[in-house]
């Protein structure tokens, strides 16, 4: 029986340390093919390229990582998955994993995440998919404590399958060298960003802005991803790409819309 085929992608770019570690972890579970952006694409969400051409090239980044093939792509994370599924892979993958992202994609961050959008794109195409993120934005972040949990979740996804229409959003706490306490299946915490724009002026007199802000947790529940991460657990949130607010349909049907 052939090994599972695992597509690995990310949004931090093909040379990102988090991606390189994810490749190494996945090679123990199956045959790995990498299709990732040729430059960082953080915060791109589910953007796709429609007004310019896409390019890819075969690359050899680190033969020791264990990938069968690697491709860098000029497009977004979602572009990478589309191109992989339609043009580059020898067959349909058994699993798509995205990451390991440098920084949290818990709570409201999932909306903006290129990491999760790549996984969601695979999920839309019916491929079981997981987005992995480490709550450490440093390029020198230590991904080694995440290995056990990443492999365990990926292995169980291959074995058990992921529910149809669901993509797993996995976030790993920063543990400073220690193993996480365990894994918790959670709901997405209710939170927001209190955004600010740092206004400056360039030497020619033109104003420009840097986006800044503070994360505001609005949810004190003990069953959320933010709670689990704060307690030292890996959080697993089953995320759906059907954005219908089903609970609101009946209320809207009571509006005077059909007269």
Considering its fold, how many domains does the chain have in total? 1
> What's the chain's Rg over C-alpha atoms?
19
Task: Report the CATH number at residue 48.
Answer: 3.40.1210.10
Residue 233 lies in a domain: yes
Binding-site residues for a divalent metal cation sit at 11-12, 42, 101
Buried b (16+ CB within 10 A) or exposed e, 145-180: bbbebbeebbeebbeeebeeebbbbbbbbbbeeeeb
Rounded (5°) CA angle 89-90-91:
90
Q: What is the rounded distance in angstroms from the CA atom of residue 25 to the CA atom of residue 133? A: 14
Residue 200 lies in a domain: no
pLDDT at 104: 95
pLDDT at 128: 98
Residue 259 lies in a domain: no
Name the 3-class secondary structure at 166: strand
Q: What is the rounded distance in angstroms from the CA atom of residue 80 to the CA atom of residue 9? A: 7
Neighbours of 217 (CB within 10 A): 15
Q: What is the rounded distance in angstroms from the CA atom of residue 54 to the CA atom of residue 82? A: 11
Residue 98 lies in a domain: yes
Query: Structure tokens of 138?
Result: 């440093």
Residue 206 lies in a domain: no
Residue 208 lies in a domain: no
Kindly report the backbone phi and psi dihedral angles of residue 83, in degrees, each rounded to the nearest multiple of 5, phi listed first.
Answer: -65, -40
Whether 61 and 73 have beta carbons less than 8 Å apart is answered as no
Helices 147-160, 17-26: crossing angle, 10 deg rounding:
50
- Give the domain range for residue 14: 5-189+221-253
Residue 201 lies in a domain: no
Residue 213 lies in a domain: no
Place of tokens 């996995």: 170
pLDDT at 41: 84
The per-residue pLDDT string of the chain (259 residues; one tens digit each, 9 = 90 and over) reads: 789 999 999 999 999 999 999 999 999 999 999 999 999 888 888 989 898 999 999 998 777 778 889 999 999 999 999 999 999 999 999 999 999 999 999 999 999 999 999 999 999 999 999 999 999 999 999 999 999 999 999 999 999 999 999 999 999 999 988 999 999 999 999 999 888 899 999 999 999 998 888 888 899 999 999 999 999 999 999 999 999 999 999 999 989 887 6
Kindly report the backbone phi and psi dihedral angles of residue 130, in degrees, each rounded to the nearest multiple of 5, phi listed first.
Answer: -140, 135
């Amino acid at each position: 029986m052939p090994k599972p085929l695992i597509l690995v992608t990310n949004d931090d770019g093909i040379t990102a340390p988090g991606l390189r570690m994810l490749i190494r972890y996945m090679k123990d579970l199956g045959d790995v093919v990498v299709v990732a952006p040729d430059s960082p694409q953080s915060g791109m969400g589910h953007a796709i390229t429609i007004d310019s051409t896409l390019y890819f090239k075969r690359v050899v980044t680190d033969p020791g990582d264990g990938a069968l093939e690697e491709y860098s792509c000029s497009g977004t994370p979602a572009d990478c998955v589309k191109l992989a599924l339609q043009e580059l892979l020898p067959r349909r993958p058994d699993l798509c994993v995205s990451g390991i992202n440098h920084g949290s994609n818990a709570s409201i961050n999932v909306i903006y995440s290129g990491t999760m959008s790549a996984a969601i794109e695979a999920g839309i195409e019916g491929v079981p998919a997981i987005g992995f993120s480490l709550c450490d934005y440093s390029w020198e972040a230590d991904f080694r404590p995440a290995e056990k949990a990443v492999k365990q979740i990926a292995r169980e996804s291959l074995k058990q399958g992921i529910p149809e229409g669901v993509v797993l959003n996995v976030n790993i706490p920063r543990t400073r060298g220690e193993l996480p306490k365990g894994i918790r299946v959670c709901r997405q915490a209710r939170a927001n960003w209190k955004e600010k724009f740092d206004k400056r002026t360039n030497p020619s007199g033109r104003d420009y802005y840097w986006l800044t802000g503070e994360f505001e947790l609005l949810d004190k529940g003990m069953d959320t991803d933010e709670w689990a991460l704060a307690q030292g657990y890996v959080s697993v949130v089953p995320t759906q790409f059907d954005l219908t607010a089903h609970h609101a349909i009946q209320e809207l049907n009571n509006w005077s819309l059909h007269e």
